Structure 1
Amino acid sequence: MLGAGRSHRLLLVEDDAELREMLTETFADEGYEVDDAADGQRGLHLGLTRDYDVLVVDRILPALDGLALVTKLRARACPARALMLTALGTVGDRIAGLDGGADDYLVKPFDLDELSARVRALCRRVPEPADALRIGSGLLDLSLRDVQLADGTRVGLSAREFELLRVLAARPGAVHSRNELRRRVFDEAAAASIVDTYVYYLRRKLGRGVVKTVHGLGYRLGVLA
């Protein structure tokens, strides 16, 4: 079982339905919040639109293989720890997995207790949530849900403004599409243009540099002057 404190969030990507169900139940029983996916494309979607502490990813997957999945998530600055779970166990396979962004590599068939121990070890490497996220010379205060500027001035944010800025600040190097931000901050039914509206609100309060437009792709975190 996990120790006291927040539950760790885990994404399991495995195409074997029986194994996926067994592992999902096992991790849930151990106290994890678990999402699962049966193919690499769905796993990529979840990894880009939700926050996870640990990824457990099969190497051979339909739609998108596990190595490509982890590599694409790393390219989008996904910070989750990743364990590659696979039947491909040669030294070359392990090196490719680790070089592709995996933090650990476990070969099938595996011992369930060993898998659980390796996931716990990865969780110990996940930093505790910060009380504030830096934005240039300012701070996004996660407890007070406002922004502290370099001179000490505090700027209040609405709930949606705060959440949009939090998502951007949590992964400062990542570019987020409008659709991704709409799903994560607003609602599936909301128009994508609502993201542009709230970016405008943040810039009006905090300066144009706080959110950068990446033309043709979306937005990323900028800086506070």
Structure 2
Amino acid sequence: MSERRRVLVAEDDSRLAGMLETLLVSDGYDVELARDGQRALHRGLTESFDAVVLDRGLPAVDGLGVLRGLRSNGVTTPILILSALGTAPDRVDGLNAGAEDYLAKPFDIDELLARVRALIRRASSDVPTVRFPGGQLDVGSRTVTLGTGERMVLSDREASLLELLARRPEQVFSRAVLLDEVFADADDPGVVDTYVHHLRKKFGRTLIETVRGVGYRLGGVG
């Protein structure tokens, strides 16, 4: 059975939020609700979603503020703005802020579901994944999905290091090579060992193998 996609719905109208949740669940998604912009921003930054349905008129932080906050922190999850503000300038503002799509209220249910499907389909085809023993890394979102279904978002450097090791699993990388390819802006060579430690702490010591006197390679592939 394929894993169910996760959708974050940020909507402060409780009746509409409940309706959206029911519609999306019936279409095969796992849905999380956020009733204000602060919660939506927090969840979008700390959890992994396949799409976000975002109202512009949210309390605490408005929808465009949530959108800009996610994009400025490197979150690439596709976002559909669903808003009563439906003029051409409103749509332009939303798209310029980083949304992939914009749908005005009131909306057609079938059109909404079709647009969410299209967003997820495009994102899935555009973003490469790299497999490693026990899981896979979604390079675009820096999200690791483990065999258990658990998801974890990595930092840029963690993701870059894991991607390099996973793409060339048979190769042993010296610290000098890793410094050059992943940590080119670092002054301290010890940064390599630090990030190896970070990844091992998250995914187990066997994820990265130490080849004594040479360097590191992906573990579990020999």
Q: In which range does the TM-score fall when normalised by the shorter chain? A: 0.5 to 0.7
Partner AA of 2:155 in structure 1: L
Query: CA–CA distance in 2 between the matches of 1:30 and 1:49?
Result: 25
2: distance between equivalents of 1:120 and 1:77? Answer: 22
Q: Structure 2: how far apart are the matches of 1:24 and 1:15?
A: 13
Structure 1 residue aligned with 2:27: 30
Q: Is the 8 A contact 1:77 1:171 kept in 2?
A: no
Larger radius of gyration: 2
Aligned residue in 1 for 2:132: 142
Structure 1 CA distance for aligned equivalents of residues 69 and 15 of structure 2: 27
2: CA distance, partners of 1:106 / 1:116: 11
Aligned with 2:59 (options 59, 62, 83): 62
Question: 1:144 and 1:169, CA in 2 relative to 1: closer, same or farther beyond 3 A?
Answer: farther
Unaligned runs of 5+ in 1: 133-140, 147-158, 174-202, 213-223
Q: Is 2:89 the partner of 1:99? A: no
**Cα offsets for 1:82-102 (capped at 9, x unmatched):** 000001111111111001010
Secondary structure of the corresponding residue to residue 59 of structure 1: coil
Check the 8 A contact 1:78/1:171 in 2, yes or no: no
Contact 2:81/2:99, CA 8 A, preserved across alignment: yes
Residues 1:165 and 1:69: Cα distance change in structure 2 (over 3 Å): closer
Q: Tell me which of 193, 196, 200 is aligned to 1:207.
A: 193
Q: Which amino acid letter does the alignment assign opposite residue 57 of structure 1? A: L
How many percent identity over aligned positions? Answer: 41
1:26 Cα deviation (Å)? 1.1
- Quote the Cα distance in structure 2 between the aligned partners of 1:101 and 1:211: 34
C-alpha distance in structure 2 between counterparts of 1:171 and 1:9, whole Å: 23
- Could you tell me which runs of 5 or more consecutive residues in structure 2 were left unpaired when the two chains were aligned: 137-145, 161-188, 199-215, 218-222
1:85 and 2:75 are equivalent in the alignment = no
Superposed displacement of residue 167, structure 1: 2.1
Given the superposition, is the C-alpha separation of residues 43 and 97 from structure 1 closer, same or farther in structure 2, using an over 3 Å criterion? same
Aligned to 1:122: 119
Task: Give the equivalent residue in structure 2 for 1:6.
Answer: 3
The structural deviation recorded for 1:71 is 0.8
Mapped partners of 2:49, 2:134: distance in 1: 24
1:169 Cα deviation (Å)? 5.2
Measure, in 2, the Cα distance between the counterparts of 1:111 and 1:124.
Answer: 20
SS of the residue 1:207 aligns to: helix
Contact 1:71 1:101 (C-alpha < 8 Å) held by counterparts: yes
Asked if the contact 1:131/1:143 (under 8 Å) is kept, the reply is no
The 8 Å contact of residues 48 and 153 in structure 2, kept in 1 or not, is answered as no
Tell me the TM-score normalised to structure 1 length.
Answer: 0.61
Structure 2 length-normalised TM: 0.62
Return the letter of the residue paired with 1:60. Answer: G
Q: CA deviation at 1:142?
A: 3.2
1:20 aligns with 2:17: yes
Q: 1:53 to 1:164 in 2, by over 3 A?
A: closer
The residue number in structure 2 matching 1:167 is 154
Q: Aligned equivalents of 1:206 and 1:169: distance in 2? A: 14
The SS at the match of 1:116 is helix
Deviation digits for residues 15-63 of structure 1 (CA, Å, limit 9, x no counterpart): 0000000111111111101101110000001101100110000011100
Q: Give the secondary structure class of the aligned counterpart of 2:154.
A: helix
Change (3 A) 1:77 1:47: same
| Aligned partner letter, 1:143 | P
Q: Relative to structure 1, is the Cα distance of residues 48 and 165 closer, same or farther in structure 2, using a 3 angstrom cutoff?
A: closer
